[in-house]
Amino acid sequence: MNGKTQLGEFLQARRSQLHPEDVGVPTYGERRRVPGLRREELALLAGVSASYYTRLEQGQSLSASAEVLDAIAGALRLDESERRYLHDLARVDRRRTRGRRPPPERVTPATRELLDVLGDTPAVVLGRRTDVLAWNRLGHALFAGHLDPGAPQAPAQRPNMARLVFLDSHVRDLYADWPSKARAVVGNLRLVAAQHPEDTALHALLGELAAKSAEFASMWADHRIKACTVATYEMRHPLVGPLTVVQQSLSSGPGPIVVVATTQADSPSRAALTLLAGAVSQATTQAAPLTDPEQTRPRPRAGKG
């Protein structure tokens, strides 16, 4: 993947998704051979020449200014996330970055303390490629209880949330509206791919998902952008049944994000989460002794005298 191709594909895809009647372009009842707006119609709305816009869409121009990009974004009716994505793609074109290995992602002590403090609130720490860097016990139980809870500790064995959503039947079955969750994953990955064009591991992941999942390939080709920081999902957990959670992404800047799942107070979903927390606590208690066996042996009594 390169920015030149992505920029042109993005512009073409979004142009084809915008109907003339959406932006007040008259068609006079004519039969149109292509869906959406024509290039010259989009160029007119953006206030640029048709030849310039054509070169931009074909990847033959690397000089688009921020003002021109904003004008095109307005003509395409892009939202704020899509507008930032358009600018990111244009910057990739200009920089022509070569593949560099990004620094490894780590969980800071402060983030680990946050996981501990959250306690009975499910929480997962995700890297930019959606690698699971850490999770608390309830986060593991809610999102991927069928996996080894210690997997994030070994970088080579870390689960990847995008892979789980598209390629793991257990995680797929967790979401009653799986397509909504899948589109959110794709939308976020597209934003990250434009922000980190040098991340070869990320682009390898995208290629793997496209090869193994026709649904991912279709959603990726749609060029929809979705910055999903807060979303409500209906989940069907194999241990506690249905529950509704609000998944929120917490971030303090560049670096890993913490995804937490909350439920409404005094709701059946809160009761289900409490039940899951109890099951996790019981399983942990049964798996590990509370005391050192050496400390429970009766001590010999001291003799008299």
Angle ∠(11,100,102) on CA atoms, nearest 5: 95
Asked: is 3-95 a CATH 1.20.272.10 domain? The reply is no
Element (H, E) at 31: none
Q: What is the pLDDT of residue 217?
A: 95
From-to residues of CATH 3.30.450.180 in the chain: 109-285
Contact between 224 and 186 (Cβ < 8 Å): yes
State the architecture of 109-285 in CATH terms. 2-Layer Sandwich (3.30)
Structure confidence at residue 287 (pLDDT): 56
State both tokens at 218.
Answer: 């279709």
Q: Which residues does residue 160 pair with via DSSP β-bridges, in sequence order? A: 131
Q: Supply the DSSP symbol for 130.
A: -
Per-residue pLDDT of the chain (305 residues; tens, 9 = 90+): 444 568 888 898 888 888 887 777 776 667 777 778 888 988 999 999 999 999 888 877 767 888 999 999 999 999 888 898 888 888 875 555 555 566 778 898 999 999 999 988 999 999 999 999 999 999 999 999 999 888 887 777 899 999 999 999 999 999 999 999 999 999 999 988 888 888 889 999 999 999 999 999 999 988 888 777 899 999 999 999 999 999 999 887 677 999 999 999 999 999 999 999 999 888 776 654 433 334 434 444 444 44
pLDDT at site 64: 82
Q: What is the dihedral of CA 160, 165, 167, 168, to 10 degrees?
A: 90
Sheet of 230-237, strands arranged across:
132-135, 123-126, 257-262, 241-250, 230-237
